[in-house]
Chain A
Amino acid sequence: DVKVTQSSRYLVKRTGEKVFLECVQDMDHENMFWYRQDPGLGLRLIYFSYDVKMKEKGDIPEGYSVSREKKERFSLILESASTNQTSMYLCASSPTDRENKFFGSGTQLSVL
């Protein structure tokens, strides 16, 4: 089974802190994604990557950056966390852009 692992299930940070969310997949997938999930808004794409060191902006990239130095790892970075970034963050991977995505269990981030 494909496994997508997110490093933390719950995270509490202070406003202005730099936050790293880590995601690792074990199936050699080319594509990796970061979404945030908010009640009533569904899943919104922040960034995605289709290869090592390659990235593209999703629909809501403001306030976020990403890093993909190795194929299996995709990191989401909040340079200066703000309270409106309190959310559930979901990482996903897929073998190609036309195949299904495998999601991690999510990181619930609270910014105080």
Chain B
Amino acid sequence: QQPVQSPQAVILREGEDAVINCSSSKALYSVHWYRQKHGEAPVFLMILLKGGEQKGHEKISASFNEKKQQSSLYLTASQLSYSGTYFCGTATYGGATNKLIFGTGTLLAVQP
């Protein structure tokens, strides 16, 4: 079952904040976040494992709520370089951890 990402698209001005959500109908073992710029390969951002942890670096962080089976990606004080499509990939209990199921993506556009 593909995780549901919301919103599908968001437009920001530089310096504004954004939250991207990723929800699953199945119990999650881990959540991976990737960013893909137009015409480029997806690039890894972070992995969150079960335990409700929050991870991040600089102004991009994420949380994982195991009970709610969802993860949120937080982008604070956005920069032009944050523009791209963000994908969450989920691994579920009982499934092969290799078999990440990716969401359909959230398009983020940061304008000057």
Using CB atoms and an 8 Å cutoff, list the residues of chain A in contact with chain B.
Answer: 4, 31, 33, 35, 40-45, 48, 50, 56, 58-59, 90, 97-106
Judge whether A50 and B42 touch: CB under 8 Å: no
A97 and B87: CB pair below 8 A? Answer: no
Asked if B104 lies at the interface with its beta carbon under 8 angstroms from chain A, I say yes
Q: Judging by beta carbons under 8 Å apart, are A102 and B44 in contact?
A: yes
B102 touches A43 (CB 8 A): yes
What A residues does B102 contact at CB under 8 A? 35, 42-44
The interface-forming segment of B12-20, B51-59, B61-69, B92-100 is B92-100
Q: Scoring B residues 80 to 99 as 1 if CB is less than 8 Å from chain A, else 0, what string do you get?
A: 00000001010000001111
Could you tell me the distance between the alpha carbons of A99 and B98 in the complex, rounded to whole angstroms?
9
Q: For the complex formed, measure the closest distance between the CB of A51 and the CB atoms of chain B, giving whole angstroms.
A: 11
Residues on A with C-beta less than 8 A from B30 are 98
**Contact in complex: B32, A42 (CB < 8 Å):** no
Cβ–Cβ < 8 Å partners of A106 in chain B: 41
Q: Is A90 a contact partner of B98 (Cβ separation < 8 A)? A: no
Which of the residues B2, B41, B89 comes within 8 Å of A105, measured between beta carbons?
A: B41
Q: Nearest 4 CB-CB pairs, A to B?
A: A100-B44, A103-B41, A43-B102, A42-B104
Other A-B pairs beyond A58-B99, A90-B41, A101-B44, 17, CB < 8 Å: A4-B41, A41-B104, A42-B103, A43-B42, A43-B89, A43-B102, A44-B102, A45-B100, A45-B101, A56-B98, A97-B98, A98-B30, A100-B32, A100-B44, A103-B34, A103-B41, A103-B43
Does B47 belong to the interface (CB within 8 Å)?
yes
Which residues on the A side are within 8 Å of B34 (C-beta)?
101, 103
Q: In whole angstroms, what is the CA distance A24 to B11 when docked? A: 36
Distance of A35 Cα from B98 Cα, bound (Å): 13
Q: Which residues of B contact A90 (CB under 8 A)?
A: 41-42
Q: Which residues of B contact A40 (CB under 8 A)?
A: 104
CA distance A56 to B98 in the complex (A): 10
Chain B residues with Cβ below 8 Å from A33 are 98
Judging by beta carbons under 8 Å apart, are A97 and B96 in contact?
Answer: yes
Q: CA separation between A58 and B34, bound complex, in Å?
A: 19
